[in-house]
Structure 1
Amino acid sequence: MAWPWRRKSRRKLARIAIEGPIAGPTRERVLKALREVEEREFPALLLRIDSPGGTVGDSQEIHAAIKRLRAKGCRVVASFGNISASGGVYVGVAAEQIVANPGTITGSIGVILRGNNLSKLLERVGISFETVKSGLYKDILSPDRALTGDERELLQGLIDSSYGQFVAAVAEGRGLEEEQVRGFADGRVFSGAQAQELGLVDALGDEDTARRLAARLADLDEEKTLPVTFGKPQKRLANLIPGRALLGRLQEALNLELGWSGQPLWLYRP
C-alpha cells in the first residue's frame, strides 16, 4: 500500500528549475530533485530551463535521469525561459513536450573546447615550464605552447564524437532524422519561434502554458493544479549585499574560462 503522501502526490504537479550553467552543483541539485519526484510518484513534472548549457557529462546525467523518470510513467514538459541553449537543449529534449517563449534564445547545438595559449605572455615575464610526461599527448592544451597539428586532429575527433552524441539525442527526443538535425546543428542560435519551425519545440508560450500542458497530459485539473517546486538553490545572506550579484556573475564567467578550460562543453558562449 502506498503511503498517504504518495497518494496525494499523484494528484499534484512537480516543478524543477535549471538555472545558470549546468555543472557539478547544478547537476547534484537537479538529480536529487528528480529522485524525490520519482519517489513521491508525481504524475507530471514541469521542467523550467533557463541555462546556456554546460559540461557534457553533467548534461548527459540529467538527460538520462529525466528519461528514467518518464519510463516510470511521469509526464515531463520543459519550459524554456530567457535562454535554453546547447546543454540546455540537450536536457530539454529528454522531455515529452517543449514550450518556449517566442523570443527565447535557444539552439547552439554543438560542442566547444577552448584552451589558453599564454606562451607569448609567459615569455615576456620570463616564465617557462619544464614538462616530463608519459606520452606524446599528455600535456595537450598546455598553456605554455600552441597546439601541434596532430593534437588538433586528435581533439577534433573528440569533439566530433561528442557532437554525434548530441545530434543523436536531439533527433531521438524530437522525432527527427539525424541528417535533418545536422542541417541546423552548426552552433547557430534561434528564437523560440524559429525553433518551433525547425521542430525543436512543440508550442510557444510562457511557463504557465507549459504548466497547463503538463497538467492535461497527466489528467490533472489545469485550472487548480499548481506546481510543487523541488531542488531550490540555497539562499545565502551574502547575496543580499549590493553588487554581490554582479560579482557572482563575474566569478561565474571567470570559472567558465579557467575552470572549464580544456573540457568539451555543450555551452553557448557568445
Structure 2
Amino acid sequence: MSLETDLLVDRRLLRRKLTLWRVLAFLFLAAALLVAYVTLGGNASFQHRGDHIARVKVSGFIGDQTANLKLFDAIARSSAKAVIVDINSPGGTTTGGEALYDGLRKLSAAKPTVAVIDGLGASAAYMAALGTDHIVARRTSLVGSIGVLVQYPNFTRLLNTIGVSVEAVKSSPLKAAPDGVSPTSPEATAALASIVNDTYAWFKGLVRERRGYDDAGLAAVSDGRIFTGKQALDLKLIDGIGDESNAVAWLSQARSIGRDLPVEDWDKPSTSSSFPFARAAAWLADSAGLTVLGDVLRAAPEAQPAALDGLVSVWHP
C-alpha cells in the first residue's frame, strides 16, 4: 500500500472520528440543556410526578398573572391531589386579582384548594383567596381591605407657581381626564367614581357569593378596613385560624387527602419572550466559569416592566 493511500485512509478514519465526537458533543449539550431547563423550573410538570400536595405562592404586588395561570393549568393536569395557595400580599391591580380568582376557581374544579394567609391577604390578594375552597389565616394576619381605588397626582398649583402651563387639544372634555396638570372637573371626577363604584360592586358581589353574607354582614366587612385573622374569623371572612398544617388537616378531613403526602413547591414558569432556555444557558455559563455571561442571561427574562392598570385593590399603611 502506497504512502498516499495510507494517508487517505488515515484521513477518512480521522474524519469519521471527528464526526462521531461532534454528534456526541451535540447530544451531550442537548441533554445538559434539557436537564438544566427542568432543574431550574423550565417545566414544572417534569418535576412533580408522584402523588403530592402542590404549594403555590402569591406574594408581593399582584399584577399580570400570565405565569400563575399557566402554573394552575399545569397543576390541574398533574398528579397533585390538592393545592395550598400561600398568600402574603397587599393586593394589586383589580385585573390581576380577577385573573387570580378566575384561575383558582377553575383549578378548584379539578383539585381541592386551600388558601393560607401568612402575614397579609388584603384587597386583590383576598380576592384571590376567595377563589379557593377554604381559607385559613394566622391569628395576627391582616385580612380584608375590600375596596377599589384610583389615585393620581395633581400638579396644577406647582405649575402655576413656577409659571408653566400645559396646552392640549381634545376630542371631548373627558378625554385623558384627569391629566394631573389642570384642575379635575366635576364631570371627570364623576366618571372616575362610576368606574370605581362599578368595580367595587363587583368585588362585593364576589364576597357575598363566596362567603354567604346578607346585606348587613356584607356592609360590616366591605368598608375598606383590614381585620386581624381572629376578627376575620368572627366576621366569616375566613374559615379557620392556623397555618399550612391546619390546611393539610382540613384537606384530610373534608376532602380525604392523605395527611402523609409531601407538600411540594410549584414555581411559576417564565413568561419572557426571550430565548426560552436562558436560565439553562446561564447555568451552563456558570459551570464553564463564565459568571458574568450567566448573570446577563439570568437577568434578561426578568427585564420586562410590570403591568399596572388604572384601578387597584391594594392596602398599605
User: Is the shorter-chain TM-score for this pair beyond 0.5, marking a shared fold?
Assistant: yes
Are the counterparts in 1 of residues 82 and 257 from structure 2 also a CA contact under 8 Å?
Answer: no
Find the aligned partners of 2:252 and 2:155 in 1 and give their Cα distance: 53
Q: What letter matches 2:98 in structure 1?
A: Q
Q: 59, 62, 70: which one pairs with 1:22?
A: 62
The aligned residue for residue 38 of structure 1 is: 76
Q: 62, 69, 72: which one pairs with 2:107?
A: 69
- Deviations 1:173-205 (CA, angstroms, capped at 9, x unpaired): 112235521232001110000000010100001
The aligned residue for residue 249 of structure 1 is: none
Map 1:45-56; keep pairs closer than 5 Å: 45-56=83-94
Q: Note the aligned Cα RMSD (angstroms).
A: 2.7
**Deviation, structure 1 residue 91:** 0.6
Q: 215, 226, 229: which one pairs with 2:262?
A: 226
The aligned residue for residue 124 of structure 1 is: 161
Map 1:205-244; keep pairs closer than 5 Å: 205-222=242-259, 224-232=260-268
SS in 1 for 2:86: strand
Note closer, same or farther for the CA distance 1:215–1:36 as it changes in structure 2 (3 Å cut): farther
Are the counterparts in 2 of residues 108 and 186 from structure 1 also a CA contact under 8 Å?
Answer: yes
Matched, 1:12 2:52: yes
The aligned residue for residue 310 of structure 2 is: 263
Find the aligned partners of 1:146 and 1:227 in 2 and give their Cα distance: 54
Q: What letter matches 1:32 in structure 2?
A: K
Find the aligned partners of 2:268 and 2:104 in 1 and give their Cα distance: 17
**Deviation, structure 1 residue 232:** 4.9
Relative contact order higher in (CA < 8 Å, ≥ 6 apart): 1
**Deviation, structure 1 residue 211:** 3.0
**Deviation, structure 1 residue 207:** 2.3
SS in 1 for 2:265: strand
Matched, 1:160 2:187: no
Q: 125, 136, 141: which one pairs with 1:104?
A: 141
Paired positions, count: 241
**Deviation, structure 1 residue 122:** 2.3
Q: What letter matches 1:39 in structure 2?
A: R
Q: What letter matches 1:191 in structure 2?
A: T
Could you say which structure has the higher helix fraction? Answer: 2
**TM-score normalised according to structure 1 size:** 0.81
Note closer, same or farther for the CA distance 1:120–1:6 as it changes in structure 2 (3 Å cut): closer
- Deviations 1:67-124 (CA, angstroms, capped at 9, x unpaired): 111223x101000011100111111011111000000011110111111101122233
Are the counterparts in 2 of residues 43 and 218 from structure 1 also a CA contact under 8 Å?
Answer: no
Find the aligned partners of 1:7 and 1:14 in 2 and give their Cα distance: 9
Q: What letter matches 2:69 in structure 1?
A: L
**TM-score normalised according to structure 2 size:** 0.70
Q: What letter matches 1:56 in structure 2?
A: T
Runs of 4+ residues over 6 Å off in structure 1: 233-236
* Farther-moved stretch of structure 1 (78-87 vs 126-135): 126-135
SS in 2 for 1:154: helix
Q: 224, 249, 261: which one pairs with 1:187?
A: 224
The aligned residue for residue 207 of structure 2 is: 170
SS in 1 for 2:61: coil
Note closer, same or farther for the CA distance 1:209–1:145 as it changes in structure 2 (3 Å cut): same
**Deviation, structure 1 residue 206:** 1.5
Q: What letter matches 2:82 in structure 1?
A: A
Find the aligned partners of 1:99 and 1:166 in 2 and give their Cα distance: 20
Are the counterparts in 2 of residues 6 and 41 from structure 1 also a CA contact under 8 Å?
Answer: no
Structure number with bigger Rg:
2
The aligned residue for residue 246 of structure 1 is: none
Q: 119, 122, 127: which one pairs with 1:82?
A: 119
